[in-house]
Structure 1
């Protein structure tokens, strides 16, 4: 068999080859959603603000001059300092069904980690928790969205063969978005609002949301602080995410809860399902990708429950139910029939409302894997 050659990515042309490889690998997979090439370039280039506290190296594997795999080796120094470990991450890890190719790329990540004093390897993870992370470990053909990773079954087979074990598990759910808000939930939510003098914000104009944009990310930092390997977003990263997310959010599905001093204490942010539009765009905004995406943002019957959280000072007081119920009501008002959650860490008490108070169907489990190196 021909030799596998693994090279560090050099130059813009090879970066684009790195980015587009999974589009070719999974071109016949109906559930694979190609990311926008422009978004991937921004993430993987030197302009990414996460590089203030991360370092990375990108590798491509070739056989007979043909691309057969890729991987990013990432060291998040802020994460290692916060959680007290010395870990190198793998991300953007895709490869043909060939264990030798997998091993050649994996060895490069191990080598990179050891060179920089790391003694643990984990992944798939990105630079921040806003990047795509965790692989499916069951129901591999289930529906994907634009913020989740697609992987075939052999990825899991190969990492387990290499000796990696599950470090953390996530669960995704599917649910009818138009199911009535339970009367008991509605009554309790009203009592919570009155008891704590809280307000549920609704928005008619986009300019009304922007004063809360930075507050939103600060509350996200606080509410996610105890989750697996989470590192608070920096102000530079928040600047990028405000620019990236807020021009496109749907006001009907942006639900913020504030206290009597206008502090944002809880949030639920959902977006229209644009996975089909991304599929049609195939990584390109032009000439017609923008049209498919714009249309999907305005004409939809499915939503993705993208981000939700409660400030630690307000957790275990039932506040999360307030924005869940409001998203539920808005789904009914706007003809949305189906909702999908993003991956939720199994055992996270804050998300048990999905399975205890609403009619949900488990969609798939996901996992991050780790191994000592």
Structure 2
């Protein structure tokens, strides 16, 4: 059998970042229903000089070679903020991660995972989670169900065989994540409609669009609620101020007031729902390229993404309202308004909600109540080192 060698890369060097990203793009191009992403964006995410994630994280990138040919890649990384999370929330002391996992076959996969695990051990880690590429807020989990259709914005897409490779290396599922498909044009069940109308009659509640004239402060409100609402969720790692600013700038071209809502109770922002038009619809047509002509299509699409699918990647209600009837009422009200705008303004016919943790009973109940159905399943695996 031909020997496999695994070589470390230097993420501070543009040549090494390019080799790592271009290899991943080669794997993605071979996968049915995969959508090409913007190369510049992919390069920036692994650049310690540009992505503020590296303000509290260290990473080592690897490429596997067989007969001089690159046949796989992986990252090993440590998020210092994740180390401070209570162990019962999934992260905690001693927990490192792997991500950006691609392998030509099981032998390559094994060699890559061993390299990532060895590096994590040298850093004092005794447990590994993955794949998480690279922040928990980016692309967590391995796709194990839903390869028969294209992913929406900021969702990973992986071949079925990878699950066997990871399990074969001694990993077990730590958590399942689901996305839910929602037909946008269909009315909600009568019970949900009654809950929404009841909330609309409540003078204490106001559900409003995000105000783009005060975009930065609005994003700060959204992410402050997020950090509070998700603080006890499995896998939660707080976003830093630098990450909030970075994320807000990145998302700005995709934020449309009609499909993004903040809910107020007695004038205080207590909940939000973020919806992003599925830019993968565009990238599928432009092949993930801005030049020579893709930039014109991109500008037109960003201005008004007609007929785009819609993804709800984030929503949250302040922790003090959890497990209350008000929390679900606010969620239903925001979903109802966004669904109507997506259909009437952008002529969308499909939405996707998630990811949602398998044991997030509140969100699973909401997804079930609006007649959505699971369309993609991701798994985050774990292993003791």
- TM superposition score category, shorter chain reference: over 0.9
Asked if structure 1 preserves the Cα contact closer than 8 Å seen for 2:176 and 2:377, the reply is yes
Q: Tell me which of 339, 364, 369 is aligned to 2:376.
A: 364
Equivalent in 140, 146, 157 of residue 133 of structure 1: 140
User: Equivalent residues in 2 for 1:183-222 (5 A)?
Assistant: 183-192=190-199, 195=202, 197-202=204-209, 206-222=212-228
Q: 1:39 aligns with which of 38, 41, 61?
A: 41
SS at match of 2:193: helix
Matches within 5 A, 1:219-298: 219-261=225-267, 263-297=268-302, 298=304
| Cα contact 2:31–2:158 (8 A) shared by 1 | no
Other structure's SS at 1:247 match: helix
Counterpart in the other structure of 1:27: 29
The answer to whether the 8 Å contact 1:142/1:363 transfers is no
Q: CA deviation at 1:232?
A: 0.8
For 2:3, the equivalent position in structure 1 comes to 3
Choose the corresponding residue for 2:55, options 49, 52, 55: 52
For 1:284 and 1:67, locate their aligned partners in 2 and report how far apart those are by CA, in whole Å: 24
Matching residue of 2:312: 305
Q: Residues 190-234 of structure 1, C-alpha deviation per residue, up to 9 Å, x if partnerless?
A: 43455571211125x631444311111111111111222211100
CA contact (8 A) 2:178 2:376 kept: yes
Q: Is the 8 A contact 1:72 1:91 kept in 2?
A: yes
- Counting only pairs closer than 5 Å after superposition, residues 98-109 of structure 1 correspond to structure 2 as 98-109=105-116
**What's 1:325 paired with?**
336
SS of the residue aligned with 1:246?
helix
* CA distance 1:20–1:365, change in 2 (3 Å): same
User: Whole-Å Cα distance in 2 between the matches of residues 15 and 353 of structure 1?
Assistant: 42
Give the deviation of 1:173 after TM superposition.
1.5
Residue in structure 1 matching 2:19, options 4, 17, 41 = 17
What secondary structure, in the 3-state scheme, does the structure 2 residue paired with 1:352 have? helix
Instruction: Determine if contact 1:273/1:300 at 8 Å carries over to the other structure.
Output: no
Q: How many angstroms apart in 1 are the aligned matches of 2:54 and 2:203?
A: 41
User: Given the alignment of the two structures, is residue 151 of structure 1 paired with residue 158 of structure 2, yes or no?
Assistant: yes
- 1:29: Cα distance to partner? 2.7
Q: What RMSD over aligned residues (CA atoms) do the two structures have, in Å? A: 2.0
1:119 aligns with 2:131: no
Task: Report how far residue 15 of structure 1 moved.
Answer: 1.1
- Following TM superposition, by how much is the alpha carbon of 1:28 offset from its aligned partner in structure 2, in angstroms? 3.7
- CA 1:264–1:128 in 2, change beyond 3 Å: closer, same or farther? farther
1:161-183, Cα deviation, whole Å (9 max, x unpaired): 11110000011121210112444
Q: Which runs of 5+ in 1 are unaligned?
A: none
Question: Is contact 1:181-1:329 (8 Å) kept?
Answer: no
Pick which of 132-141 and 230-239 moved more. 132-141
**Within 2, Cα distance between the matches of 1:61 and 1:193?**
57
Secondary structure of 1:359's aligned partner: coil
* TM-score of the two chains, using structure 2 as the length reference: 0.90
Question: 328, 335, 343: which is aligned to 2:355?
Answer: 343
Find the aligned partners of 2:294 and 2:321 in 1 and give their Cα distance.
41
2:77 maps to: 74
Q: How many angstroms does 1:274 deviate by?
A: 1.8
8 Å Cα contact 2:313/2:355 also seen in 1? no
TM superposition shift of 1:45: 1.0
Task: Give, in whole Å, the separation in 2 of the partners of 1:288 and 1:8.
Answer: 36
Deviations 1:321-342 (A, max 9, x none): 1111111221332222111223
- C-alpha distance 366-153 of structure 1, shift in aligned 2 (>3 A): same
